[in-house]
Amino acid sequence: MARRLAAGPSFRAAPVRVRVPATSANLGPGFDSFGLALALYDDVVVRVAESGLAVDVAGEGADEVRRDKRNLVVRAVQAAFEVLGGQPRGLEVVCANRIPHSRGLGSSAAAIVAGVLAARELVVGGPDRLPDDAMLRLAAQIEGHPDNVAACLLGSFTMAWTQLDELGPVGQAVRLDVHSELAPVAFIPETKSSTAKVRKLLPETVPHADAAANAGRAALLVEALTRRPDLLLVSTADALHQPYRAPAMPRSAALVERLRADGVAAVISGAGPTVLALTSSEIADDVASAHASRWFAAKPLAVDTEGAQVVPLGAGGPP
């Protein structure tokens, strides 16, 4: 676990507003490692109060998100405060959610990163007490894996991994800029999925040939995303997780097959059921219109290049 600092924190009185992007993990062969930040954002405002806990949620998931201490943003805020030295007497949290929940677009990672970043900004000297690498470590501990939180924190394309040190499992990541022509299109269904449930569909072992093929495709995908988008179709082929999860999301699996048959690099986004097409800016709108259906809303999205940000309270919402 992250190490708590000895001295108690001093809290800022002014509220803090943070903006966090959606993310797509795996990207085909990069299972539990690769992540891509997308220009679709949640905004969260957090203020230290005199007492109690108040949580307000609008937008995606508003009818389902908890408004007590079990709210994921609240849990992340309090976990970060604990590392920073102690809890304030009260807390006010306001969430404007635009990232769909349980669709494979990193809504839980966004909530966690928003809470950790807001808590750091609310503490005097917070960035020194909880630097970026420690934020990633804490966010990955809360999430359980680093792929989505890394992309959410850092933006662009990330490769994340976990290694052991004296503190236990530590999430780490490398960020790379993507090719300027990359233009993702998300096909978002109304149906939802549970990461925990679809993970249970994965076998304990896989054939060595499948593992070797995925390793080669994952290496090639780094080149495709950053310098050679013409290699996206071949480099996004996957044999480790998508075939095993297909029965749980047959419409998504069928859409991936149709897109790939048309020459479009398409993958299941995270644990699904959203499908992510990795296209170019020249054809993104055409791909979206050609494959939108009663089952899938097509949403062309830019790649987010900034990651999680503290934004002025008076700033307008994202486009």
CB 9 within 8 Å of CB 86: yes
Q: What is the largest CA-CA distance in the chain?
A: 60
9 within domain boundaries: no
- Domain total for the chain? 2
* Residues 137 and 232 placed together within one structural domain of the fold: no
Read off the CATH number of the domain in which 192 is found: 3.30.70.890
Q: What pLDDT digit, counting tens, does each position of 73-108 carry? A: 999 999 999 999 999 999 999 999 999 999 999 999
CA distances from 297 to 68, 112, 169, 215, 264 (A): 32, 26, 38, 32, 17
Work out the pLDDT band at 3, boundaries 50, 70, 90: very low
* H or E stretch covering 114: helix 107-122
- Weakest-pLDDT range from 10-14, 245-249, 314-318: 314-318
Asked if 168 and 39 sit in the same domain, the reply is yes
Report yes or no on 126 lying in a domain. Answer: yes
The verdict on residue 45 lying in a domain is yes
Q: What is the CATH number of the domain that holds 152?
A: 3.30.230.10
> Alpha-carbon distance 43 to 305, whole Å?
17
CB neighbour list of residue 249: distance below 8 Å, 6 or more residues apart: 191, 193, 198, 268, 272, 273
Note whether 62 and 207 are same-domain residues.
no
DSSP calls for 171-223: EEEEEEPPPTTEEEEEEEES----HHHHHTTS-S---HHHHHHHHHHHHHHHH
4 part of a folded domain: no
Residue (of 236, 247, 304) closest to 269 by Cα position: 236
Q: Are residues 117 and 255 in the same domain?
A: no
Burial 292-306 (b: 16+ CB within 10 A, else e): eeeebebbbbbbbee
pLDDT tier at 313 (50, 70, 90 boundaries)? confident
Q: Mark whether 148 and 274 lie in a shared domain.
A: no
CB 121 within 8 A of CB 19: no
Phi, psi of 286 (to 5 degrees): -65, -40
**164 falls within a domain:** yes
319 pLDDT band, cuts 50/70/90, is low
Cβ proximity of 21 and 302 under 8 Å: no
136 and 198 part of one domain:
no
139/217 same-domain check: no
Contacts of 274 (CB under 8 A, 6+ apart): 24, 100, 103, 104, 105, 186, 187, 188, 189, 252, 268
pLDDT in tens, 189-224: 999 888 788 889 999 999 999 999 999 999 999 999
Q: Is residue 319 part of a domain?
A: no
d(CA 297, CA 318): 20
Domain identity same for 226 and 147:
no
Rounded mean pLDDT of the chain?
Answer: 94
User: What confidence tens digit (pLDDT) does each residue in 217-263 have?
Assistant: 999 999 999 999 999 999 999 999 999 999 999 999 999 999 999 99
Tokens representing 74? 């609240």
> 314: pLDDT confidence band, cut at 50, 70 and 90?
confident
**29 pLDDT higher than 60:** yes
Q: Which residue has the tokens 């170019």?
A: 280
Could you report the per-residue pLDDT of 138-188, keeping only the tens digit for each? 999 999 999 999 999 999 999 999 998 877 788 999 999 999 999 999 999
d(CA 144, CA 74) in angstroms, rounded, equals 17
318, pLDDT greater than 80:
no
114 in the same domain as 20: yes
Is 26 in the same domain as 92?
A: yes
- Judgement on whether residues 171 and 286 belong to the same structural domain of the protein: no
123-146: per-residue pLDDT in tens? 999 999 999 999 999 999 999 999
Share of the chain above pLDDT 70, in %: 96
Q: Is residue 40 part of a domain?
A: yes
Domain of residue 191, residue span = 182-300
Whether residue 3 lies inside any domain: the answer is no
Are both 223 and 282 inside the same structural domain? yes
